[in-house]
Every structure is written in C-alpha cells, then in structure tokens.
Amino acid sequence: MIFGKRYFEERFEKEDPWRYFSCEYENRKYIRQIEAIKQYSPHPQNILEIGCAEGAHTLMLARAFPEASILGIDISGFAVKRAKQNCEYCQNVNIVEADIIELFKQDHFPENTFDVIIQSELLYYLFPKLFIQLSLIHYLRSITKIMKNSGIFVTSNQFSIRTKPVMGIYYLILKHLGRLAQNAEYKEWHDIRCKYLTYDVKIFTKAK
Ligand SMILES: C[S@@+](CC[C@H](N)C(=O)[O-])C[C@H]1O[C@@H](n2cnc3c(N)ncnc32)[C@H](O)[C@@H]1O
C-alpha cells in the first residue's frame, strides 16, 4: 500500500486522528526526543520537522527551543491548516504543506541548512513510495546533505516484528551515511490503545 496524500487527508478529515494532543504515550515520546536534542544540539538555530501533523510536537519544540526557527512540513492540507492554528502564537514556527519526497527530489533545501532534522513516526509510511521510486538512498542522502556538519537527524519509530525489517534497512543506510550517536529503545504503556508498545529514539550525526 502507498501512503500518499489521499491516505493522510482521509485520516486528518477527523481532528487529531492519532490523539497526539491527548495521549500520554505520544507526549512522553515527544519529550524523549526533545531531551535527546538538548543533549546533542543544545542551541539549534534551524529545525526541520518532517511530518509535523497537527503541530503537537512542533508546539513543544517551539517552546523548548524559543531561539530556533522551526519549519514543519506535512503532506496533509487538513493537518497543516490545524498545525498553523495550533502554532499561531509561536513566532518561530512556519508550517508548509508539501510532500517531503518531492521537495528532496527537487533539492529544495540548500546544503548545510539545519542543525536538527526531526522525523517522528514517518519512516514506515514513506517506505513503499521510496522503494517503488528507487529513491530510498537519495532520500536519506538528502537528509545528511541539508544537515549542518554539526547537525543531527532525530528519528523515532514504534516498531514490531512487522515493521522492524523496514526500519532496519533505513538504519543500515543511515549508519553508512553518518554515525549512530544514540540508540535508545523504550517499551511503554499506550494509554489509548491499552497495550505496551516499543519505540526507538535514534540520533544520527553527519560526521563519521
Ligand atoms: C504517523 S504521523 C506522525 C506525526 C508526528 N510526526 C508524530 O510523531 O506524532 C505521519 C505524518 O507524516 C505526514 N506525511 C506522510 N507522508 C508525508 C510526506 N511524503 N511528506 C510530508 N509529510 C508526510 C502525515 O500527513 C502525518 O501527519
């Protein structure tokens, strides 16, 4: 299945479909990612958030790093509209509706731009399209290219037996392109799905 624009528009027709604003599990996962950024890039100037959804994580990033300029990208028009409303009082946030795969294909961002690129719960959804288009390596290369030399790529993904092999392919390539600086895994209670889920919070740096 291809998780394209239509798939996400159908999801976001209903407000907050994944309960990002009310789910304690999601909130904790965002905090863990922010703590990791504070450790590896304490004073970021430019942050790119890929797949910002309705801006729940974006809002927390904006408050945690008030000096940083934060660009959130999402493919869903519904999500972007709500993210803009949710972040309307954050002067340091800009939200744009776009398909990140297309932006990377066009080399939209100049090299060495971002101190932090954060992509939470998206790798799995991008995989079919990147695989079919043979653009997986180009996608990950684009990430390392637009990162500053001191920059970090933060990625967090819930994983299961089904998704772990897919994640493994990304991480293998990323380890080849950069350096795995943090490799944390957490098993936590999901208060809405009422079961334990496991997710990682990985940090890749550009330098080998
Ligand atoms: C599962 S949600 C994760 C949201 C948020 N990052 C989080 O961790 O809570 C995936 C998000 O990525 C967006 N997305 C999916 N494919 C995309 C693409 N090609 N370009 C930009 N955003 C995309 C979806 O619209 C959705 O908001």
134 or 54, higher pLDDT: 54
Half-sphere exposure in the Cβ direction for 132 (13 Å, CA) = 9
Atom of ligand 1 nearest to the CA of 29: 8
- Is 82 a pocket residue for ligand 1 (Cβ < 6 Å)? no
Q: Distance from the CA of 192 to the center of ligand 1, in angstroms?
A: 20
- Name the average pLDDT for the chain: 96
| Cβ–ligand 1 contact at 72 (below 6 Å) | no
pLDDT value of residue 163: 87
Note the pLDDT tens digit of each residue in 61-94.
Answer: 999 999 999 999 999 999 999 999 999 999 999 9
Position 72, amino acid:
G
- The alpha carbon torsion through 182, 135, 118, 25 (nearest 10 deg) reads -80
Range of the domain at 63: 5-38+46-205
Q: Is the CB of 8 under 6 A from ligand 1?
A: yes
The per-residue pLDDT for range 148-205, each reduced to its tens digit, is 999 999 999 999 998 889 999 999 999 999 999 999 999 999 999 999 999 999 999 9
Whole-angstrom distance, CA of residue 152 vs CA of residue 148: 8
How many angstroms does the Cα of residue 21 sit away from the middle of ligand 1? 15
Q: pLDDT at position 158, please?
A: 94
Burial of residue 188, with CB atoms counted within 10 A of its CB: 0-12 exposed, 13-18 middle, 19 or more buried: middle
Q: What residue owns the CA closest to ligand 1's atom 4? A: 53
- Per-residue pLDDT band for 2 (boundaries 50, 70, 90) equals confident
pLDDT score for 205? 97
- The response to whether residue 125 sits with its C-beta less than 6 Å from ligand 1 reads yes
| Total of domains in the chain | 1
Mutate to test the pocket of ligand 1, among 7, 8, 133 (most ligand atoms within 8 A of CB): 8
CATH code (residue 158): 3.40.50.150
Q: Please give the pLDDT value at position 208.
A: 60
How confident is the model at residue 194, as a pLDDT? 95
29, pLDDT greater than 80:
yes
